[in-house]
Every structure is written in C-alpha cells, then in structure tokens.
Homo-oligomer: A and B are copies of this chain.
C-alpha cells in the first residue's frame, strides 16, 4: 500500500526530505528518525548536527595518500616505521580501515576516491590516478632509490587492492597501463575473495590472506 504523506508540519516534512536523501533510508524510516530526534533533548540534537557539519567543513585529506585525516599528512604516511616503497591502491577510506584492521599490511596507501565506472559517469580524471602516477614516478626517482638502498634496497611496489568486479578490474588495468613504464612491481590482491565480493564486507582472515598472497599483475 502506498503511504500517503500528509505531514502535519512543514518542518517535519523538510526534515523527512533531508533524512530520506541518505542512501538506504526510505521516507518511512526517515519519519521514524525525525520523530526520534524530536524526542531528544535539544542539546543532543545540536550535538548530532554539529558533528556532521564539523566533519564536512573541517575534514582534511592527506596530501600524499588522499586519506581522510585531521592533519595535512595522515598518521600512516607520517609513520616512519611503515614501508613507504609499497603503495596499496584502494577505492575508498573504508577500504583503508578494513585493511588496517587485518594488521597484515605495513606499507602505505593511495585512496582513489572511487572506481572507473562509465555507467555512473566516473572516468579516470575523477579519481586521484594522476596523483598516484606522480607518487610512483617519485618512488623510482634516483633520490628515492638511493634512499631505499640505504634501507636495504627495497623494490618499489604498487598493490592494486580493488574489488573483484568488472569495474575494479578495469580500474586496475587502467592504472597498470599508467604506471608500467616506471618499472615498479605491480601486484593485485590474491583472489581468496569470491568474484563479485565487496572488499568492505570481507572477513579479516580472508582479506589478510589476500594481502599476504598478493600476486604479480598480469593483464
């Protein structure tokens, strides 16, 4: 049955409009949430909205890896103990959090901010691929290699940790074509993940295994 909407108040209707714009929240759930917020103390509601405004207004992105950060450089990129010659390329902030939770990875990241998806109008230029290429070029510069020698001569590596669906594979292939010229090692996650599995929903064991058993990218 269609749910006719005769809101008793314009304010309520506008709040429901706003809340139902969130992904996965229908108008009925939005009404429930709006009425819940209405019952809360005023300062709690202000705290709620202020937390969201602060996030949107004040969040920064690490200038190296594009990760959400409170500073110009994120805690991972500024960690000297991590392997800065290994860059793990992921789609989103959530993927970084998921991989960090496995405790299996000690390199740095690069957050693309999305995935190449013609159907959604997302092309390579909408992602941080140019920045990634510049980072890879920097990794193989004479200075960087000299510094790495001092650390035991680690080889630069790019891990393509994207989803196993068509869009993920397309994006991996596109990035591979862009960075192959620099002679870095390019690997992708071991497919312990099922095809079509979403990275963020994988359990830590599977995801951790996928990182340890990453394989040379052969397009």
Residues of A within 8 A of B (CB): 1, 3-4, 6-12, 14-15, 17-19, 21-24, 29, 31-38, 40, 42, 44-60, 67-70, 74-76, 92-94, 96-97, 100-101, 203-204
Contact = CB atoms under 8 A, between A and B. Distances in A.
A16 B1 CA distance: 33
Which 5 A-B residue pairs are closest in the complex by CB-CB distance? A49-B49, A18-B51, A15-B55, A45-B56, A18-B48
Contacts of A100: 6
Contacts of A93: 8, 35
B68 A38 contact: yes
B10 A70 contact: yes
A18 B37 contact: no
A74 B96 CA distance: 51
A201 to B, nearest CB: 10
A55 B42 contact: no
Given A69-B8, A75-B8, A101-B6, A38 B59 contact: yes
A47 to B, nearest CB: 7
Nearest to A93: B35
A36 B55 contact: no
Given A8-B74, A51-B17, A70-B9, A101 B37 contact: no
Given A49-B49, A93-B8, A38 B55 contact: yes
